[in-house]
Amino acid sequence: MIKPGVMNGKPVKVLIDSEATNSLCRLSLGKHVVRTKTVRLAGYDGAMWEPTRTREVKENVAIDVFFFKDTPMIEWDWKEKDFNVILGQPWFQQHNPVIDWHKRTIESVDETVEANAVAIDNPGWIAKICHVNRQDEVKPAKIEAVLAEFKDVFPKELPDGPPPKWSVQFDLTLKSDAKPKPHAPFRLAIVEQASQNKFVDNIKKKGWVELSSSDWASNIFAVPKKDENGKMPFRHVRLKTVTANTPMRWVDYRHVNSQSEIPKIPLPNIEDLFNKMHGCSIFTKTNLASGYHQMLVVPHARRYTAFRTHKEILQLCVAPMGMAGMPGIWSRLM
């Protein structure tokens, strides 16, 4: 990663390289000589330079808002490079920086190391922060009465056992040349395994899965829900905050979907729905908990819903998330 910086009042380009065994700077950049020494450098391709007499210097280097004082470097004359300074392993060991390689920024350095803020030309804002005491929402008495009357319709979670056998059930038809494809299991972090175990134990308790020996078993892995900005967080960011209670989507049905005949069931036209709402003043919204899991899978199609955990192979008795054709079939049931 190459970053713009300042060294002895001069703008420089700094290569941050964790594989470089030394920190280097171009000839004539250094001003504070520590000693003169003979060095022999090795290139990444294994080529060795002849022993060369050069100087070891200690210089102040500023990058972004961080100021690294008395950074030891060896002067070296390299040709045709896009950088003037290399910060290698000694710099990493001394400052222990936290680097966001995606954003190409230095997030922080070791608190025990002196790093002073440097003024830079960035826009600033003044914000007023107010503390607001959250008040519990009070439901009108009429709504409380309705919730009490139909409390069996609004449980905190779905009851154990399979859902009722509705007139519409999830079915799956494969293409004529469809073939299963074995996959090596995905590797999961410890916290992801804990979340997976909780997910699997819960659907076992509810009777939504059964043991399987299907050769169509798909892999299982954690896919988080999008954040408040509608973006999918990077995995290394998510693992810092995920717990066993974090909601996940688990099964990777991409291969099964690619081998399936997707039913051509039209979804309602959103503009027609808005037209029907014209003139209305009261609107209701129904959000079914784990909606797809309230529909059964026909027995002969359950083998295609199979998924592999790190312990066993299971197949779903209730309609899965992530299977092609589900929105249309669900719309037909609704």
Give per-residue pLDDT as tens, 290-334. Answer: 777 778 888 898 898 888 888 888 888 888 888 888 888 888 887
Task: Tell me which of 28-32, 40-44, 69-73, 266-270 is least confident.
Answer: 40-44
For 317, phi and psi rounded to 5 degrees? Answer: -95, -15
Nearest to 74, CA basis, from 59, 50, 90, 56:
56
pLDDT at 167: 86
pTM over 0.75: no
Virtual torsion, Cα 212, 213, 214, 215, nearest 10 deg: 150
pLDDT at 27: 84
Give per-residue pLDDT as tens, 85-130. Answer: 999 999 888 888 888 888 888 887 875 555 455 555 556 667 767 7
**Considering the chain, what is the average pLDDT of its residues?**
81
pLDDT at 111: 57
pLDDT at 224: 65
Indicate if the pLDDT at residue 41 is higher than 70.
yes
pLDDT at 47: 66
CB atoms within 10 A of CB 68: 23
Rg of the chain in Å (alpha carbons): 31
Give per-residue pLDDT as tens, 280-300. Answer: 888 877 777 777 777 888 889
Identity of the highest mean pLDDT range in 48-52, 265-269, 270-274, 285-289: 270-274
pLDDT at 169: 86
pLDDT at 57: 92
Domains and CATH numbers, the chain: 2-108 (2.40.70.10), 158-273+289-333 (3.10.10.10)
Share of the chain above pLDDT 70, in %: 86
Q: Give the separation between CA 99 and CA 135, rounded to whole angstroms.
A: 40
Range list of H helices, 169-269: 190-205, 235-238, 254-258
HSE on the CB side for 37, CA within 13 Å?
12
Looking at residue 320, the DSSP 8-state letter turns out to be P
Give per-residue pLDDT as tens, 133-155. Answer: 777 777 788 888 888 888 877 77
Of 248 and 95, more confident: 95
pLDDT at 87: 92
Token reading at 274: 């808005």
pLDDT at 277: 85
Indicate if the pLDDT at residue 200 is higher than 70.
yes
